[in-house]
Chain A
Amino acid sequence: MSEVIFWVIWVLVVISAMIVAYSKNLIYSVFSLLATFVGVAAIYIFLNADFIAVTQIVIYVGGILVLLIFGIMLTNRIAVAKINQSSFQTSLGMVVVGAVFVILVITILGQSWPVLAESMDFDSTVGKIGTLLFGDYLILFEVASILLLGALIGAATLARKEL
């Protein structure tokens, strides 16, 4: 049963990512990006990554996607219901991306990955992540907070009317 659900979500993620890449309407693209993010969060749950799944929903769906929709709405005439977008270099891009994908698949399938003998499940990752974040990775955590402060100030400065 969960095998079936996994493959349904797998196909859903791929199809919605294809709509993001190929749709002529920018609004359709951004809303199928929503489906991609939620589907990837479900994939994280299949990988026993509970904390990452919740973070994905909160930050990607709740934050980044809303930012993207704001970006679209602020840079288009909303009176036009259909916000078109054009693509260029489609054939060349298809060739390059197809080559990259074939190389990736050949590499993935041709490799014998050092997979653990029996696949173990994590029971809960939140405690381990918290211990590591405030232990071994404390400097990275603090640097990340400085980076976020810089991004906040930078974005607020850049978005002002008079630069």
Chain B
Amino acid sequence: MNHLESYLILSALLFSLGLYTVITRKNGVAILMGIELILNAANINFVAFSKFVTHQVEGHLMAIFIIMLAAAEAAVALAIILNLYNDQGNINVDEADALKR
């Protein structure tokens, strides 16, 4: 727990699993979950570097702004997904080929 590498490997694992979710899922909400995993991985990196390398709290500030951006992004994405559901009856992103029908 006192090695930077253990946190970086954890964050690399979370990033890879999030990327896998984004690549392979069809469901829009599942893709959003993958994006949240990726953002969490980035946050772990910021906080770990700010403890082990710089010992300043600037990394924590970046983590706060990332969390805030994730909240804004989730709200807007879910509004879009609800519209997609009203338009085509499901939220499979591979079937979404029209902006309006």
Contact = CB atoms under 8 A, between A and B. Distances in A.
Given A36-B40, A71-B29, A87-B25, A97 B78 contact: no
Interface residues of A, number: 84
Of listed A20, A29, A67, A89, residue having the most chain B CB within 10 A: A20
A97 B16 contact: yes
A2 B80 contact: no
Interface in A98-116: 98, 100-101, 104-105, 108-109, 113-116
Contacts of A79: none
Contacts of B9: 105, 108
Contacts of B43: 40, 52, 56
B79 A154 contact: yes
A120 interface: yes
Q: Does more than half of chain B's interface fall in helix, strand or loop, or is it mixed?
A: helix
Interface in A24-60: 26, 29-30, 33, 36-37, 40, 43-44, 46-49, 51-52, 55-56, 59-60
B10 interface: yes
A4 to B, nearest CB: 10
Given A113-B4, A115-B52, A43 B44 contact: yes
Interface of B: 1-2, 4-10, 12-21, 23-30, 32-34, 36-37, 40, 43-44, 47-48, 50-53, 55, 57-58, 60-61, 63-65, 67-76, 78-83, 85-86, 90-91, 94
Interface of A: 2-3, 6-7, 10, 13-14, 17-18, 20-21, 26, 29-30, 33, 36-37, 40, 43-44, 46-49, 51-52, 55-56, 59-60, 63-64, 67-68, 70-72, 74-75, 85-90, 92-94, 96-98, 100-101, 104-105, 108-109, 113-116, 119-120, 122, 125, 128-129, 132-133, 137, 140, 144, 147-148, 151-152, 154-159, 161, 163
Closest 8 CB pairs of A and B: A151-B72, A158-B79, A6-B1, A93-B23, A104-B12, A101-B16, A159-B79, A87-B24
